Amino acid sequence: MDDSAPLPLQPKLQILKLQARGEEFRIPQLLGNLFICSPANGNCCCGRPEKGRMPFDNRQYEQEWEARHLRARVHLTFSGCLGPCAVGNNALLQIHGRSLWFKDLNQPALIPALFDYIEQILKAGQIVPPSSLLQGHLYERYIPTTPAEDDPLAVLSMPTPDADGAERLDPVCFMDVDPATAKHFVEYQGRTIYFCAPSCKRLFVKDPAAYLPT
Ligand code: FES
């Protein structure tokens, strides 16, 4: 593989014909989608300096995406909350059938590094290990169903499933709450349950069974 070779500007589009509302539409079939958690869509933490995160600027992502001519290969979406708020700024890259999660994108240099990685995957035509800059930011959020020995990312120190500390999680939003400093909590069935905010506590108190695993 020649890493220095640019991606062709206009890849040959593969077109899907889909029916919707009784009409036929054509849409390009893509290789992936990059989702960026954006405060513009009502999230709680990512991109919010008051929460200690790098301020969000959608142009940082848009300029990289446009400059690399990724439009016909990887769609760019600014989303609402992706879920793991405690480790944001967060991004999710779905590509070649995989979901690659990125956390703690709180340095400007990580944004071009993320797009470099997308280009490396596209050039290789498969998932490849990330650069050293990104390694500590990539993790596996979904429980894998394929054997690790076939996974090119298994060489990374992926987090292992571990229930330690599960009692620290706000059961409503899954935010990691430090019991030593938690301001919002209730006693429920002999244990203390911690919340990140009064809104989570209210939801829990209204219907605890909806939030605790059976
Ligand atoms: S606010 Fe970004 S993942 Fe929840």
Mutate to test the pocket of ligand 1, among 81, 101, 105 (most ligand atoms within 8 A of CB): 81
Find residue 17's DSSP bridge partners.
Answer: 26
The domain boundary, picked from 155, 179, 202, lies at 155
pLDDT digits (tens, 9 = 90+) for 16-73: 899 999 999 898 889 999 999 999 998 999 999 999 999 999 999 999 999 999 988 9
Give percent of the chain above pLDDT 70. 86
Domain count, the chain: 2
Contact residues for 125 (Cβ-Cβ < 8 A; gap 6+): 96
User: Are residues 95 and 140 located together in one domain of the fold?
Assistant: yes
Question: Which of 94, 7, 80 has its CA nearest to residue 39?
Answer: 80
Question: CB of 105 closer than 6 A to ligand 1?
Answer: no
Calculate the CA dihedral of residues 56, 57, 63, 66 and round it to 10 degrees.
70
Through-space distance between the first and last CA atoms of the chain, rounded to whole angstroms: 50
Considering the domain boundaries, does residue 118 fall inside one? yes
Question: CB of 90 closer than 6 A to ligand 1?
Answer: yes
Residue 187: its pLDDT value, please?
A: 93
Check: CB of residue 79 under 8 Å from CB of residue 56.
no
Closest atom of ligand 1 relative to the 84 alpha carbon: 3
d(CA 82, CA 85): 7
pTM of the shown model: 0.82
Considering the domain boundaries, does residue 205 fall inside one? yes
Backbone angles phi, psi at 21, to 5 degrees: 55, 35
Cβ burial, residue 161 (10 Å; 0-12/13-18/19+):
exposed
User: Are residues 132 and 194 located together in one domain of the fold?
Assistant: no
What range defines the domain where residue 181 resides? 166-210
Task: Name the residue type at position 126.
Answer: Q
Mutate to test the pocket of ligand 1, among 35, 36, 45, 105 (most ligand atoms within 8 A of CB): 45
Confidence of residue 157 (pLDDT cuts 50, 70, 90): very low
Give percent of the chain above pLDDT 90. 60
Considering the domain boundaries, does residue 74 fall inside one? yes
CA 55 to centroid of ligand 1, rounded, Å? 13
CATH number for the domain harbouring residue 126: 3.40.30.10
Question: CB of 153 closer than 6 A to ligand 1?
Answer: no
